[in-house]
A and B are shown apart, each in its own frame.
Chain A
């Protein structure tokens, strides 16, 4: 079945530093990938839609200069949290849908803790 690999699983960083999270589709091509954020005891919130070869589409309230998205190939999208602050601590999840499947495959998520 379709697999999405997300890396790293967890990361702890200092305030002011940047963190990159990778999302890879292992056995299918994904022209579109989605990035979600989930705060404790809350539901997933869509942050942005990553489009291969073009700019990402950000949801309202998500700072595009802070959350940099790069979808450089059909199997890789990256989310970089720049100048991280403690309030950026959250669970970040990516997903992609193999063409024609009608379903979505999610990565295992990245737990970001900013200290």
Chain B
């Protein structure tokens, strides 16, 4: 199992703007997952991108994956105040092991 490192640690934007968060990891992966956590709540699985995919969309979310650079990005378009949360990436090596989480990116969207 390996840990993803999110960047930036904190991001504050206005409603309607786009938010971009980045994730780096160190070894080969089977897939990479992004999660959201609202304050004091459990994790919500947002999107999974497989190692043979380069880009994936889900509603206002766009995820890219560059396996050569061992990096991924999460773009939230037209952000809303309800998007305020911490976002975590979780690289997954392919065995039925646990996910290890980094410190996440704390996103604050101001109305």
Interchain CB contact under 8 A, A109 and B99 = no
Q: With A102-B31, A103-B33, A103-B48 in contact, is A108–B42 under 8 Å at CB?
A: yes
A67 contacts partner chain B, Cβ-Cβ < 8 Å: no
Interchain CB contact under 8 A, B96 and A32 = yes
Shortest C-beta distance, B92 to chain A (Å), equals 7
Interchain CB contact under 8 A, A46 and B100 = yes
Shortest C-beta distance, B67 to chain A (Å), equals 16
- Report B-chain residues with C-beta under 8 Å of the C-beta of A91: 40
> A104's closest neighbor in chain B, by CB?
B99
CA distance A46 to B48 in the complex (A): 21
Interchain CB contact under 8 A, A49 and B98 = yes
Q: Which positions 39-80 of chain B face chain A at CB distance < 8 Å?
A: 40-45, 48, 50
Chain B 14-49, CB-CB to A under 8 Å as 1, else 0, gives 000000000000000011010100001111110010
Shortest C-beta distance, A55 to chain B (Å), equals 16
CA distance A42 to B103 in the complex (A): 7
Please list 18 pairs of residues, one from A and one from B, whose beta carbons are closer than 8 Å in the complex, sorted by A's number. A36-B101, A43-B88, A43-B101, A44-B88, A44-B101, A46-B100, A91-B40, A95-B43, A95-B99, A97-B96, A102-B31, A102-B50, A103-B33, A103-B48, A104-B45, A106-B44, A109-B40, A109-B42
CA distance A91 to B42 in the complex (A): 9
CA distance A25 to B74 in the complex (A): 28
Interchain CB contact under 8 A, B102 and A6 = no
Chain A 77-115, CB-CB to B under 8 Å as 1, else 0, gives 000000000000001010101010011111111010000
Partner of B41, one of A43, A105, A109: A109
Shortest C-beta distance, A94 to chain B (Å), equals 9
CA distance A18 to B40 in the complex (A): 22
Q: Which positions 84-103 of chain B face chain A at CB distance < 8 Å?
A: 88, 90, 92, 96, 98-103
- Report B-chain residues with C-beta under 8 Å of the C-beta of A97: 96
Interchain CB contact under 8 A, B40 and A111 = yes
CA distance A106 to B34 in the complex (A): 13
